[in-house]
Amino acid sequence: MTASPVRVGCCQVSVTVGDTLGNRARVRAAIEAAADAGARIIVLPELANSGYLFADLAELRAVAEPATGPSVREWEQLAQERDLVIVVGFAEAGDDGLIYNSAVLVDKTGRRAVYRKAHLWDREKDNLFTAGSAAPPVVETPWGRIGVAICYDLEFPEWVRSAALDGAELLCCPVNWPLYPRPAGERPSEIVKVQANAAVNRMFIAVADRTGPERGQHWLGGSVVVDAYGFPLTHITLGDETMLLADIDLAEARAKGISARNDVHADRRPSLYSRVTDS
């Protein structure tokens, strides 16, 4: 497969707990606006159909949907109509009766992958979500190989590296980053970690964060597209509803060399890392 340049759009939207129809309408409008702006790969936030701060499991169950539910079906329809790849987070009601913090990748052929967040954050562990155990999926698309991870997963370099080793050239990440204090003039550490993950894996990363207050919590609004050298390709606009666009060629992520004699994959020595991976 030969990749060609493609425009990536990260849609930073506001979401409301329990307002399924309103959330779906906001997500649809954001996808359509990004497509109108030329984006063919579009990323939206974590739990975009449901909101995030649930009072209890009953409230979460009331808005969770199966992967065959109305939200995913609408995204499939949009992908088919506009020839898009869409990655978006949703509260998934599993066939096993459990609820997962999931993300779906759809394209014009339909649903290609569903990923269940493996690393749960804070109150997600409070009898709300069940952690997934499958590695980040990597999907072949007309523009290149796209992987999927969710929010706190990005804190674990082993997890991001697994997607890179499986051939991901672009990692799409729906997130809900809480707003935390930081020193004046400093870039948020969440974005710094994305830059580091991209650089050490020679892989593009596209992050779609959310914005707007929710039950007393404010969000960073740190959506960004980072190139395979770790440099942001989009202006970092914290906090506001926005759409960020970047034109990238995923073929650039296939070469893992960082000097004439160094390659971030070929130079690995996994036999030395067992203490990290096995502990």
Tell me the average pLDDT across 66-70: 97
Q: For residues 16 and 9, what is the distance between their CA atoms, to the nearest angstrom?
A: 22
Lookup: tokens for 256:
């893992």
Res. 3 pLDDT band, cuts 50 70 90 = low
The predicted pLDDT at position 90 comes to 98
Q: Residues 170-194: what's their mean pLDDT? A: 95
Could you tell me which residues come within 8 angstroms of residue 26 by beta carbon, excluding any fewer than 6 positions away? 13, 14, 15
Q: For residue 271, count other CB atoms closer than 10 A to its CB.
A: 6
Model pLDDT, residue 202: 97
| pLDDT 10s digits, 210-233 | 998 999 999 999 999 999 999 999
Inter-residue contact 101 to 124 (CB < 8 Å): yes
Mean pLDDT of the 231-257 span = 94
pLDDT beyond 70 at 267: yes
pLDDT bin (cut points 50, 70, 90) of residue 122 is very high
pLDDT at residue 39 greater than cutoff 70? yes
Question: E strands within the chain?
Answer: 6-14, 41-43, 85-93, 99-107, 110-116, 138-141, 144-148, 170-174, 204-208, 210-211, 224-226, 242-248, 257-259, 262-263
* Rounded distance between C-alpha atoms, residue 244 and residue 221, angstroms: 11
- Whether the pLDDT of residue 209 is over 60: the answer is yes
Give residue-wise pLDDT tens across range 132-141.
Answer: 999 999 999 9
As a whole number, the mean pLDDT across the chain is: 95
Percent of the chain exceeding pLDDT 90 equals 92
- pLDDT of 66: 98
